[in-house]
Chains A and B, each alone.
Chain A
Amino acid sequence: MSQSAPAERAALIEFEHVTVTFDETRALDDVSFRICEGETRILMGAASSGKTVVLKTAMGLVRPRSGRVILMGEDITDRPETELFGIRSKLGMLFQESALFDSMTIAQNVAYPLLNQKGNKLPRDEMESAVRSSLRFVELEQTMERYPSELSGGMRRRVAIARAVVTKPPLLLYDSPTAGLDPITAHTIMALIVKERDVDNTTAIVVTYRYQDGNLVANFRYNPDSGRLDPAGSQGTNTIFMVLREGRLVFEGGQDELEASKDPYVAKFIKRPERDAA
């Protein structure tokens, strides 16, 4: 079951009345929220509702027109690009289309943040073992010397997760991790996200339009002994749902509140799967 975050925890991301525009279109409209350490946020919304823009704004890849974005205690709203590289190295992001570099092998792709992020540079031998263990985490160690174009969509997504977690960042942003994947592969990807959360105790935002993804994250925990997902039970998962509609945040709360919501737009996202089904 989901539960609210204690107020005294440190906020990793804070949006204060953030508005983002592209030309004259409002992609985000006066969005405010606060994500504390240890939380998992499920961000839902229809296509073009601004889900990806939230993640890109949180990383400083997109600049807000008004409002403030505070990332790990630092106001990044007006920071020049060069000053953002340091703080971005504390984040991992999975892009919607995986965004692996086509010209590099899988190993080079996963090693990229270790080679280029100032705070994450490692000696050569340690780097190799970090890349290997990150690929082992997504069960793709055997693909190290292959190129992204040789892998399937689901495998590319898993490699992109490996690249996002190789630096062990405390905060992870997942942009539609299951978009365009078959249900079995989608489940594998979501299971990896739950595993990453429970193994490394990371905070995360998971953007998705599939309620079952959010349900899985909110109600299951990774069991390191069996290597499978078990129902979270009373332990909880500290998961909070948010729903975006045309750039506006129309819902923020736990799973019970979400399911009880009378808002027709919010209700559209909710299918009621059996919570305890494996």
Chain B
Amino acid sequence: MLDALKGPVQAVQEFYALTGRAIRNVVLKPLYIDDILLQMDSIGVGSIPIVLLTGTFTGAIMALQLGRELQQYGQTDQTGKAVSIILVRELGPVLTAVMMAGRNSSGIASEIGSMKVTEQIDAMRALGTDPVKKLVTPRMVATAIMLPCLTVIDDFIGMVGGWVIGKIVYDLQTLQYWTNSWQALSWGDVVQGLLKPFVYSFVVSLVGCHFGLNTTGGTQGVGRATTQAVVVAAVSIFVLDLFLGKIFVSGQTGL
């Protein structure tokens, strides 16, 4: 029984050690600015199309479903309000993070994993570079900057998707939709909507890096690391969301 637990416990311990080293490296020289910018482009800018697509359709489907419910009570004008609250508080951060896990945790794990199995990580260490500083910290910083930005884009484009459906299907007034959407949001929602992706960004980047750096077993191992990274990152985001949700709900309502 204890032997069976040894592997997972050791993996968690290694993950936290990696997290600690990656965060400490942010304040230690040299900081690889070029690598951070390169990763911001690859992780952030490269993810914009996927975020636009998922955001639009999420907002649209929410408006479609909620509008029908609200119609029964004659409250279709409240659709914008419902869409914006759900998007900004929950679905925007979670969906964007999960999409990023699918696209970037896997990408990071496979890239670093390939480097590991072809001895490039060892070469890096042999040639005077700390792989955590050169590979992990830039990816962590880039994701921490870009994920909240992508979430904002996702929230907005989701509201646009909701507005299009509201306009076409439920014949909502544009001004009414946007005013309701805007007024429904409090500062607490905005803080929550930005803080969550910031926290998830560490999961997306560090889980990918952890599985990449621990890749063994050649190309087959790279495939395994990639799959594990996506699964663990996505599940961790949902689990964390519940805890963060509870903290914010308690903070705002005292419950």
A interface with B by C-beta (< 8 Å): 56, 59, 61, 81-82, 85, 88-89, 91, 93, 95-97, 99-102, 112-113, 116-118, 120, 163
Contacts and interface: CB of A to CB of B under 8 A. Distances in A.
A102 B110 CA distance: 13
Contact of B128 (A56, A97, A99, A116): A116
Main SS of chain B's interface residues? helix
- For chain B, which range describes its interface: under 10, 10 to 19, 20 to 34, or 35 or more residues? 10 to 19
B248 to A, nearest CB: 39
B123 A99 contact: yes
Interface in B83-142: 114-115, 118-120, 122-130
Interface of B: 114-115, 118-120, 122-130
A134 B228 CA distance: 41
22 contacts: A59-B126, A61-B125, A61-B126, A81-B125, A85-B128, A88-B126, A89-B128, A91-B126, A95-B126, A96-B119, A97-B118, A97-B119, A99-B118, A99-B120, A100-B123, A101-B123, A102-B120, A113-B128, A116-B127, A117-B127, A118-B128, A120-B128
A56 B123 CA distance: 10
A88 B114 CA distance: 24
Q: Sort A-B residue pairs by CB-CB distance and give the 6 closest, nearest first.
A: A117-B128, A99-B123, A99-B119, A116-B128, A95-B119, A113-B127
Contact of B129 (A99, A116, A120): A116
Contacts of B120: 99-102
A61 B122 contact: yes
B127 A112 contact: yes
Contacts of A96: 119
Nearest to B133: A82
A96 B128 CA distance: 19
Nearest to B125: A61
Of the listed residues B114, B115, B120, the one surrounded by the most CB atoms of chain A closer than 10 A to its CB is B120
A165 B114 CA distance: 25
Contacts of A56: 122
A82 B130 contact: yes
Contacts of B123: 93, 95, 99-101
